[in-house]
Homo-oligomer: A and B are copies of this chain.
Amino acid sequence: MAYRALSEQEAVQYVKELPGLFEAGAILSSREIGDGNLNLVFHIRDEATGKSVIVKQALPYARVVGESWPLTLDRARIESEALRIQYKYVPDLVPQVYHYDQELALTVMEDLSDHILMRKGLIEGRRYPNFAKQIGRFMAHTLFFTSDLGAHPYEKKALVGTFLNPELCKITEDLVFTDPYENAPTNSFNPLIRREVEEIWKNKPLKLEIAKLKYDFLTRAEALLHGDLHTGSIFVTETSTKVIDPEFAYYGPIGFDIGAVIANLLLNYAGQHGLEKDGGKRESYREYLLTTVEDVWNEFVSQFVQLWHKQAKERSAHVEGLWQSYVKRLIQDTAGFAGCKILRRVIGLAGVADLNSISDEKTRAEAERLALLIGQELILKRGGIEDSTDITDIVRNATTRFDQEAAAV
């Protein structure tokens, strides 16, 4: 079947014809629940049994601030293949793929609508006590088993070829690593922070470090990344974590995924300046977020190193001292990538609701200033980081400075 965007009824017809999903004669309801910017997302449900699936179809364009630009349908293949690989290693942490259709750029997968987006949950001030352990396991397993440590070199190289993903990588290369640090037309920031943004554009040591991080992103094919692991790509309940939307999957530096998770926790941390009016509650929630940052790293690293010791196939992996030097470099990468991810969300295209939902512009500008401060410090001070508390210390110190400057005004 040649590509065409499906209607709700066509989506129903499509899944009815797939074997093994619904009973013959089932009466299915269909509801398009996507935001329509990149993909159609149909929620299809058998009202009699309650059974449901998601049909996700890529659109051949991205709609950004009202305008469309063409975007490869190949991202549906990337997404479904990445989900299948992740499912192999952490079946409880990703939606199961039931069917993929290359012509229609369409994936039928497990319905997770009992979960909510983690970004939404954090904005509402909820806590997820299992999240750090679960996302730590997601990253440790998916990254380890697709890396040269856990995969046969032939398998790894074949996967590199499967996930070259040039178009979606280009989006990251431009929007995370380039545009926000110069006066680029894609940028979109609060006019009240123009002075701070212009200081960043002139900050040579910062731009040098970001250029190095970009070069690492371009060249360091360490493992099959999720590639866009922010809190809007994570579904949660009180007890469950599900990682979705790996359209940006490709072979890159491992710290990029870990950094994305930490960056988005810290964007919420900065957003608390405007999200939570009660000082005590804000303080307590921020402590929860910082503990989660530490736990995410600690869980990741303890599970990753355990896999390394027990399952590394690469003969050189067991050389004395290697894992320690690897982990040290990795936490520094993580901090650097987290910093870029924070800055781009404040300055560049595509902000985050953790900041954008602060209705008062001035309060929002203050929260954004704090985010910029944290992002820059993570990038510039990453060379001294050895442990997750070094990351949270940077955040705490930046917050103290921010509070003092605010008090001095």
Contact = CB atoms under 8 A, between A and B. Distances in A.
A220 B153 CA distance: 14
Contacts of A221: 160, 219-221
A319 interface: yes
A161 interface: yes
Contact of A321 (B148, B208, B325): B208
Given A212-B325, A214-B316, A316-B214, A153 B178 contact: no
A170 interface: yes
A169 interface: yes
Which of A154, A160, A169, A204 is most buried by chain B, counting CB atoms within 10 A of its CB? Answer: A160
A24 interface: no
A322 B211 contact: yes
Contact of A316 (B156, B166, B210): B210
A308 interface: no
A5 interface: no
Given A164-B157, A164-B160, A164-B161, A148 B218 contact: yes
Given A208-B319, A322-B211, A153 B177 contact: no
Interface string A195-232: 00000000010011011101100111110000000000
Kindly state the interface size class of chain A when it binds its partner.
Answer: 35 or more
Interface in A320-352: 320-322, 325-326
Given A161-B164, A170-B154, A177-B316, A148 B219 contact: yes
A277 interface: no
A140 B170 CA distance: 25
Most buried by B among A157, A204, A214: A157
A169 B157 contact: yes
Contacts of A204: 319-321
Interface string A158-179: 1011001111011001000110
A160 B252 CA distance: 13
Contacts of A166: 153-154, 157-158
20 contacts: A148-B219, A153-B218, A154-B166, A154-B167, A157-B165, A157-B166, A160-B160, A160-B161, A160-B164, A160-B221, A178-B315, A204-B321, A208-B320, A210-B316, A211-B317, A212-B325, A215-B322, A219-B220, A219-B221, A220-B221
* 3 cross-chain pairs, A with B, having the tightest CB-CB distances, nearest first: A211-B319, A211-B316, A157-B166
